[in-house]
Structure 1
Amino acid sequence: MSIAYRSSEIPTVLIEPVIRRIRLKLGDHFIADTTHAIVIYENGGHPTYYLPRADFVAGALTATSKSEPAPLFGTKTFWSLQSNGITLPEKAWSYDGAQVGIPELGDYVTVDWRSVHWFEEDREIFGHPRNAYWRIDTLPSSRLVEVFVDGKLVARTRRAIFLFETRMIARYYFPVDDLVEGTLVPSDYTTYCPYKGAASYYHFDLDGKRHENIVWYYREPFPESSMIKGLISFYNEKVDIRVSSGNAE
């Protein structure tokens, strides 16, 4: 199944086959295993995997009486999940595809992301699946990057790694040694990016004022983002970052 459509009534939707193996684990047991999943993109948002009902373990899906209209894909029907004594009511759903004229959509089911563990091949994935049309580029640059907090210069570097991510603003990562003012204070806050990995954060203390969680770094980024390993980045939105157009000061 590979379908893209758009009309004045229906948002942009892309449905494509998934080549990689997708598995779902509930508790200690896998409840689905397929190489015939589809992925659905809605309005360019995060993709959602849908798995053939036939590729769920027998008894893992139980039909419920709950359904509701879904303007995009037709009637939404809910399923409960079961595995070795674990029951999760109404944590999976499917669509009949009537709204878009795709009746075969009713043969596919997706599951609430947080209810199970998702695997692509042998790697567990977190947050959400990666968008195949989303990319990250990391490029070293000798351009001068300066960071100002409350109008004060706190970092100055010509050793930044510029990170360009689809539809996102550029981020600038550089060595801690290029801080010239202020103090980094470890934070317990963390976030996760399916494209870069798990991010750890710092508060930033300057002149007696704490700026919470405005600096982050990746201890072990994914291989495609390995150039930013251990480097710090300031939130562009919370500080003033100035980047030269070339090598001039």
Structure 2
Amino acid sequence: MAVSMDELTMSHLDALRSAVSRRRVRALLAGQPVADSDDVLQVWEPYRVVGSYAFATADVNAALVSPTPVVPAMRRPPVLTPVHQFSLHTCAGTSWDIEVTGRVLPAAAFTPDDPDLAGRVILDWTAFDEWREEDQVVLSHPHNPFQRIDCLVTSRHVVVRIGDVVLADSHRPTLLLETHLPPRHYLPREDVRMDRLTPSETRTTCAYKGHATYWSAVVGERVVPDVAWTYRQPLLDGQPIRDMICFYDDRVDVTVTPTTR
């Protein structure tokens, strides 16, 4: 029987997982590296979909203090994403404060009890000012070695509506495919009714695409918040969608029709 790779990947979500990073990784605070190594693992605690970097303790240029034993959290969401705090641990181990340059980073380090990770310390991404893979600044979270994005020019006909009002109509979208996420259609601004959109204060960050800004739709007296977003200065992999507009399928009506050529 054929194995579904999507199902295979998610079938081990309840396990402690690790992968060799094969790149130099640095965690910086106030411009100074607190951890710096080309011998780094990426570790996913059970039920986490985004990993964290685990360094050899000798590669952490800071004191680990105030050890606190950790038992796996019994009350937790079924899936843990980057919005869930690092301190919500799902495997046994020890939590540590990091003492560096006169500062204390509370509970910013974790050493799992698993023998395969002996001598490794996992660091909290949010405790540091900047992370680099080689010399490239990395945003939001570590790059997953088993995840990627593809931006494909397509001739599909995409129409976006709210009720009877057309917000966009395009025959030249760019299809963005991201591992384990739904396909998204990014549309040229010329094909979008920009007069129906108003800038939002919402901002998000994607590790693969960069910083996104959002738009709300105004239809008559109705305002639909954050229906669309754009990447004005995307990272390298997201360059094909620079300044294009993408709509949330669950906040507007999106019709996608294949074009025969």
Mapping 1:74-153, distance limit 5 Å: 75-97=92-114, 103-116=115-128, 117-153=130-166
> Could you state the TM-score of these two structures normalised by the residue count of structure 1?
0.85
Q: Work out which of the residue numbers 198, 202, 222 in structure 1 matches 2:235.
A: 222
Give 1:182 deviation, angstroms: 5.0
Give 1:188 deviation, angstroms: 1.8
Q: Work out which of the residue numbers 167, 185, 191 in structure 1 matches 2:198.
A: 185
Aligned to 2:72, what secondary structure does the other structure show? coil
CA distance in 2 between counterparts of 1:10 and 1:193 reads: 22
* 1:3 paired residue number: none
CA distance in 2 between counterparts of 1:10 and 1:215 reads: 31
1:46 matches 2:84: no
1:21 matches 2:24: yes
CA contact (8 A) 1:182 1:206 kept: no
Aligned to 2:250, what secondary structure does the other structure show? helix
**Post-superposition CA distance 1:167-225 (Å, at most 9, x none):** 11111111122125852211221100101111011111112221111111000111222
CA contact (8 A) 2:159 2:256 kept: yes
CA contact (8 A) 1:182 1:207 kept: no
1:62 matches 2:64: yes
Mapping 1:225-236, distance limit 5 Å: 225-236=238-249
Structure 1 stretch displaced more, 11-20 or 65-74? 65-74
CA distance in 2 between counterparts of 1:131 and 1:189 reads: 25
What is the RMSD computed on CA atoms of the aligned residues?
Answer: 2.5
Q: How many residues align?
A: 235
Q: Work out which of the residue numbers 15, 39, 59 in structure 2 matches 1:36.
A: 39
Larger radius of gyration: 1
Q: Which runs of 5+ in 2 are unaligned?
A: 1-8, 74-88
Identity %: 29
**Post-superposition CA distance 1:51-76 (Å, at most 9, x none):** 1001112xx12232411223898641
Q: Which runs of 5+ in 1 are unaligned?
A: 1-5, 98-102
**Post-superposition CA distance 1:3-53 (Å, at most 9, x none):** xxx9x9992443222211111112342111111111123457112210100
Mapping 1:145-184, distance limit 5 Å: 145-180=158-193, 183-184=196-197
Give 1:115 deviation, angstroms: 0.8
> Could you state the TM-score of these two structures normalised by the residue count of structure 2?
0.82
* 2:86 paired residue number: none
CA contact (8 A) 1:14 1:40 kept: yes
CA distance in 2 between counterparts of 1:114 and 1:223 reads: 23
CA distance in 2 between counterparts of 1:90 and 1:151 reads: 52
CA distance in 2 between counterparts of 1:25 and 1:171 reads: 34
CA distance in 2 between counterparts of 1:10 and 1:132 reads: 16
Distance of aligned partners of 1:152 and 1:247 in 2 relative to their CA distance in 1, 3 Å threshold: farther
* 1:208 paired residue number: 221
CA distance in 2 between counterparts of 1:209 and 1:73 reads: 43
Give 1:247 deviation, angstroms: 3.7
**Post-superposition CA distance 1:106-148 (Å, at most 9, x none):** 3111122211132211222221111111121111111211111
**Aligned letter for 2:124?**
D
**Aligned letter for 2:50?**
H
CA distance in 2 between counterparts of 1:94 and 1:80 reads: 11
CA contact (8 A) 1:214 1:238 kept: yes
Distance of aligned partners of 1:44 and 1:88 in 2 relative to their CA distance in 1, 3 Å threshold: closer
